[in-house]
Every structure is written in C-alpha cells, then in structure tokens.
Amino acid sequence: MSRRNQRKKRINEFVELTIESLGFEGVAIARHEGIVHFVKQAVPGDVIIAEVFTKKSSYAEARIKEIITPSPIRVTPVCIHFGVCGGCSWQNLPMNEQLLWKKQHVADSFERIGKVSIGELTETLSSPRTLHYRNKMEFSFGASRWLTDVEMNMDETESHKNFALGLHIPGRFDKVLDVENCYIAHEISGRMLTEIRKAALKFGASAYNARQHHGFLRNVIIRSSAATGEIMVIILTSPPTESGDEQMIDWLDNIFPELFPELTTVIHAVNRTTSPVAVGEPRIIKGSGFITEIVLGVEFRISPFSFFQTNPWQLERFLSDIIAAAQLSSEETLWDLYCGTGSITLPAAKLVKNTFGVELSCGSIEDARENAERNGISNVQFFVEDLHKPAALEILQRLSAPDVIIIDPPRAGVHTTLLAHILEVAPPRLVYVSCNPATQARDCAILAEKYDVVKVQPVDMFPHTYHVESIAQLIRR
C-alpha cells in the first residue's frame, strides 16, 4: 500500500501513542508513523491508546481511549466536571509544569511565528491564587442539557433534560452542562447555583432556548472585589411571560438576598434581544449597583456589565510589571492604546505629565473617565475610537508625540495600519501586552523594523488553562 493510501485510512482507528509535548491551545502532541497526532486532555509522558477521529495527510486528531502508563507528572483534577466543560483543560498538570509550558508557548511564538529574537525571556509569573481566583464568572441557563453518561440512563424527572444551569459545552452554543461547583469562580458560586436551580425548578421557570429564542432564565453572573470583599450577583432573564417567571422574580426580590446576606449588590437585568451576549437593562434589588476594586492605589468602580481584568489577585503584579517595562518619568507623554476601562492608564498616569487613552467601547471609556475623576487624576484624556479604522489615526495625529506607547490589543492583535503609524511616530519605548503570544510575535516582527524586543515576561493570569498573558518590552534602535 502506498504512503498516500495509508494516509487515507478510515478514521476511528486505534494507535498507541507516547505524548511528547503540549502545543498551542493546550493540546497534547505525539507522533506516529510520521504523522503528528493532537490529543486533548493528555499529559507529556503519558502512554495511551488513542482513537483517531480525524486524519489528514500531515496530522491527525485523536481522543484518549485508555491510559496505558500515566505520566509521572499527571495529577488528579480537583473538579468533577474536568474534561467535559472545557474550562480548566490543564487541571491534570501540576502548577510548575503549567508555568513551564506557558513560557515555552511564548518562546515558540517569537521563535517560530515571529522569528524575532528576545533579549531576555523570564520565567512565567505565577498567580498568588490558583483556585477561586476569578472575580467574574458567567453561568448560563440552557433548555438543552448536556447529559453525562450517568444522566443518559436517568428518567426525565431525575435528569431535568430540558433545564441546565452551568457552562456551555465547547463548540455547542445550545448545550449547557449542569455544574455543581466551579473551582475557579468565587467560593459562593456552588451554593448559589444550587439555590437558584432549586427555585427555578420549583416554580417551573423556563431556561432560555438558544435555538428557538424563547425562555425566561438566561444567565447568572457573579462579580467580586479582592480589595473590598464586595460581591455582586446579576440574574439575567428575558421579559417574564408565565406565572412561574413572575414567581421567580418575587423569589429573587424577597428570598434570595436573605439566603445570601454576604451579597452587597443583587441585580435583576432583562435582555429583550436574541443576542447571546450577557447584558441587559439592570434593576437593583439590593445595594449600590456596583462594586469597587483597588489596584495600585487607584479605585475602580465596576458596574454590572463593564470589563475588568478577571484575576485581581495577580492584577497588581501584572500592572506593576507593565508600568516598570514602560520606564515612565514625570515629564513624559504616554499613549495607552486599547485602554479599556483604564486599568493600565490610570496608575501609569500618576507617573507621567500627559496620558492619552483610546478604546472602541463607549461603556469602557465612560467607566475610565468616571474612575479618573473619582481618583482625582486630571492629566489623562480618553477617546472612543476603533483603532483599526482611519479615523483613529486622525485622532492620534492630533495628540502630543508620545515618549512611550503601551498597546494591549484583543487576541487578533494590532491592525497593520496602526502598526505602520506606530513605526512612523516611533517613540523611544513600546510595551506590547497580549493575551495571544502568536499575534504578539507576528506584530513584533513588523515592529522589528525599528525596535528590539529586549525582554518578554509571561504572566499566568488564568491558572489551570493554557492561556497566558505576555508583556514585551521594545526599545527603539
């Protein structure tokens, strides 16, 4: 049989693999008969029987059928939902290995994708907390519950197949896994999900059907502050149409706050659209309607649907490293591009003469301006503009020339027109912050026309996941 025909073997074959490494997005890598095999939930050093379900000429995708010899570094995940919800895909790796692989992924991005040399690549900055570290967690209701093997054998009454409260199955917008507890969310989440689920089933309040766009209950959002201990809960629904919906609202208004006296703010918000984005018109049931976080001496007021970094336990060190990389001084001008709500802008503004922040989201800029006023920071101006469009360049051309630019773009990276403008302005220093080292390395390759990457700092903002933040310090030649 020719090699070409061998590579056209039918899928669902079984092969023995020894896992060699972890690739991008945390997928394990093995090689068999000259073909790279990608296997989810495997650990380097595992010897497994794998079931191949996709096979191309140069690679195959497989799932673990049996672990023959577990890797010596493999650990038991703490969460019973590991491997199903898809959230914490590295819970089977010890923390020291997670940090090593995150550093390796940053190195691979710069070496293989960007082909950019790094002056210094530091060790990954570990998070002070590795469990219950998220200050925002969004849970979903679903009318199509993802059934585990055990639940498949239950009757309708036991499994509640048309109702779930938990997390979406990866790749399935319509399927929700019923979650008992989440080990990266606030500690209150397990008890809260239990009580809300019980009440909803008692009153017969329906879960939202994402395919047919009807149903009452949509999301439970838990937000908290590490500095103040405040906890906000938002229950997001569609407008009520049934008596069970009205009973659920009455329970939220009168019973729910008493069950959880530690909550400082409780909000019922209504989403009148078919959009899956968890936003709505808020109605305050209890509290002020916001929480306050304090980072590097700056108070940030966080409203129900505004963006804020999700690991506050790591945030102060993360921001400190960004500001240190910028090497700011009191007579300088700083541009903060993709500034969000000003989490970098406002602490940095204390150290320079002038600061300018640009961001696409109107809501984020409103929060940034309010927080600047709240903290008496007057040397900063914020602009609402899409940095990927020509109008943004017109704004930038009117600003004072920067001595340093901090860039913190979305995962897709920086648009080429903005990169060209940065090269034209060419301040002495750039700091490029990214949640995607691959696009960061790609963009740094373009900036290498005038800049050297003197240092890159990986930061673990999301323990037990493959995600890594990366701070690149660039100096103009």
CATH class of the domain whose range is 98-129+311-476: alpha beta
**DSSP-assigned states of every residue in 372-435:** HHHTT--SEEEEE--TTSHHHHHHHHHSPPPSEEEE---TT---HHHHHHHHHH--SEEEEEES
- Fold category of 136-294 in CATH: OB fold (Dihydrolipoamide Acetyltransferase, E2P) (2.40.50)
Q: What is the pLDDT of residue 152?
A: 67
Q: What is the pLDDT of residue 158?
A: 52
Q: What is the pLDDT of residue 335?
A: 98
CB neighbours (10 Å) of residue 298?
21
Q: What percent of the chain has pLDDT over 70?
A: 95
Query: Is 114 strand, coil or helix?
Result: helix
As annotated, the residues of the chain forming the CATH 2.40.50.140 domain(s) are 3-69
Higher pLDDT, 161 or 177: 177
**Quick one: 387 exposed, middle or buried, by C-beta within 10 A (0-12, 13-18, 19+)?**
buried
**DSSP-assigned states of every residue in 131-165:** SS--SEEEEEEESSBPPPHHHHTS-HHHH-TT-EE
- Whole-angstrom distance, CA of residue 259 vs CA of residue 253: 11
Length of the chain: 477
User: What does the block give as tokens for 113?
Assistant: 């994708």
As annotated, the residues of the chain forming the CATH 2.40.50.1070 domain(s) are 136-294
Higher pLDDT, 404 or 58: 404
Q: What is the pLDDT of residue 1?
A: 36
CA triple 63-68-72, angle to 5 deg: 100
Pairing of strands 35-39, 59-69: parallel
pLDDT band at 66 (very low <50, low <70, confident <90, very high): very high
Q: What is the mean pLDDT of residues 168-190?
A: 90
Instruction: Pick the catalytic residue from 182, 339, 435, 444.
Output: 435
As annotated, the residues of the chain forming the CATH 3.40.50.150 domain(s) are 98-129+311-476
- Under 8 Å between Cβ of 121 and 114: no
- Whole-angstrom distance, CA of residue 329 vs CA of residue 331: 6
User: Could you confirm whether 435 is annotated as catalytic?
Assistant: yes
| Dihedral class, residue 403 (left if φ above 0, else alpha if ψ from -120 to 50, else beta) | alpha
Q: What is the pLDDT of residue 151?
A: 67
pLDDT at 252 over 60: yes
Q: What is the CATH number of domain 3-69?
A: 2.40.50.140
419-443 pLDDT tens trace: 999 999 999 999 999 999 999 999 9
pLDDT band at 4 (very low <50, low <70, confident <90, very high): very low
Please provide the average confidence, as pLDDT, over all residues in the chain.
93
Q: What is the pLDDT of residue 306?
A: 86
75-118 pLDDT tens trace: 999 999 998 887 899 999 999 999 999 999 999 999 999 999 99
What is the maximum alpha-carbon separation in the chain?
76
pTM, two decimal places: 0.91
pLDDT at 314 over 90: yes
142-154 pLDDT tens trace: 998 887 766 666 6
pLDDT at 7 over 50: no
